[in-house]
Structure 1
């Protein structure tokens, strides 16, 4: 298959990342804190972001082994954000397991997230680069962390509003998912080269890929096979989640269709059975809402936009010399908008 060799290399690099990551978050006292902090890393995950760090370093002609600790730092930041996101969303499962706050309570989950965040900076300190590069890596990751928080804050504010604009959504998602992908690619490039054009091109690639990744997730939520997706189709509609698809619909729908959509949007968040609502009735109403999104071309719009971002991302890599690493980044970007779950 087209992506088999890529997936193999992702797994190989994930093993290297995991080895260093669990050195930083070992089994130690207080046991409850470290058990909670290790919960999501142990649950797996594809380690896509650290793969990007290592592969970006290689794509600019650098030594990927020198990027290993920065790659771990990026993965720790990602996991910290998941712990805190799940608390804010009150989600009960993640990667097929109970969430950290579900198992250990909110207070311990906050501490576990904080520990992962602090360990990320411990990882940066271990980077095998000179002091100037280490400072630049630190600056890049701090800036991405700031943007991640800003994006999450916007997303929380969106929950209080009936509608959001496309421009507002794009600003939010650029911070919430684009910033860390950009940091991953940029940090790898910083480790591997002094060439500012190369560093800039990889930063642009990462930002576009990160945004496209989330938009495609939102598309799959509405069109994917439920068994492959691992959750009910239309979960975002049930929760009332603002996405590019929904923003596009709100900007184009007439008043009657907006009202029809809003009667369903966010109505089925949480445990519907506890409210005496029949699941089959929920599915029927959610499917009606999805048909409205289709009728206005909103799902197609988002899918096309994600693919456009991927084309732009890979175009920015053409400045780099041809190599297996560059090809891996291009393939990874293409896979993001070809996956079916």
Structure 2
């Protein structure tokens, strides 16, 4: 029996209720193709971690989590909208085991679907049964997260044109691209559940740290996970030339000779390599050598420790909240983020 069993049950139970609201907000209607495109990723499933944070944060400060259902669904729809646009920018062909929205319906319809979802996000946020003042705070938190996500994505795009980024630059990028939405999720739950500003700020800090840890641990898993559990080849980020905390640390500490060796492989297999006569086994061999270089400088261990310290800070922030099952679930979620294997 895992220490996370109760947490997983709670996530599953809340996900079912959130999904009902998501499909209420994204119904089957005309124009048929547009609404099919908006429902494509939600129908593929997903853990609904961000909505879970919204609902559990509301509960952790003594509020009724059901009052947070529409904002929780809004957060998941916002997250899904960013995935559609990310997939267009990256020209990815699959997501959650399905063809990406732009592959099925074309780029123009995918952009429209994303735009519709962004509008639905704000409509949903206003449906929470709370005061007008709290609605304003919720909408402001969502808008702020949206701005930060765009800023983070712009930095990520800029990184693609460079060989290296610094640790500080990478952290700034994920602070926007990934952590901002976790921050908003926890903060919105707090706004709905309480008027206590200390509690709301504590939840905001928790969300920010958990979001940063989530992304960094993803980067670690890309290099150390079991391929079957991960669902993609180990070292995919190396193949694509993706800048991570691990890579930033390596470039800060490696010799010029090792940097040159690393760059021979880094990003070499971005895009489609089928039909180019490249043998998968050869790619794996090259990627494995590069991973050994990262290990040589302790870069993977550095990122692992960094993520675990962020989780420690996230849990520390929650200590001002009263003890409860909801608070415990938030703490367990933080632990799970750096103990998961996929």
Secondary structure of the residue aligned to 1:263 is helix
1:106 maps to 107
C-alpha separation between the residues in 2 aligned to 1:220 and 1:141?
29
Alignment of structure 1 residues 1-341 onto 2, 5 Å: 1-341=2-342
Aligned-residue Cα RMSD (Å) equals 0.6
What is the TM-score normalised by the length of structure 2?
A: 0.99
> Residues of 2 paired with 1:335 and 1:162: CA distance?
32
SS of the residue 1:157 aligns to:
helix
CA distance in 1, matches of 2:252, 2:138: 40
Q: Distance in 2 between matches of 1:83 and 1:278?
A: 31
Shift of 1:163: 0.4
After TM superposition, give the deviation of residue 317 of structure 1 in Å: 0.3
1:64-86 Cα distance to aligned partner (Å, 9 max, x none): 11111110110010000000001
**Structure 2 gaps, min length 5:** none
Q: Deviations over 1:212-270 (max 9, x none)?
A: 00000000000001111000000000000000000000111111000000000000012
Calculate the TM-score normalised by the size of structure 1: 0.99
Cα distance in 2 for residues equivalent to 1:67 and 1:125: 11
Q: Distance in 2 between matches of 1:138 and 1:223?
A: 39
SS in 2 for 1:269: coil
Please list every run of at least 4 consecutive aligned residues from structure 1 whose deviation after the TM superposition is greater than 4 angstroms: none
Distance, in Å, in 2 between the alignment partners of 1:163 and 1:129 is 47
CA distance in 2, matches of 1:125, 1:317: 27
1:274 counterpart SS class = coil
How many residue pairs match? The answer is 341
Conserved 8 A contact 1:10-1:47: yes
Q: Provide the C-alpha distance between the structure 2 equivalents of 1:126 and 1:197, rounded to a whole number of angstroms.
A: 25
Rounded to whole Å, the distance in 2 between the matches of 1:80 and 1:188 is 21
- Structure 2 CA distance, aligned partners of 1:148 and 1:58? 26
CA distance in 2 between partners of 1:169 and 1:270 (Å): 22
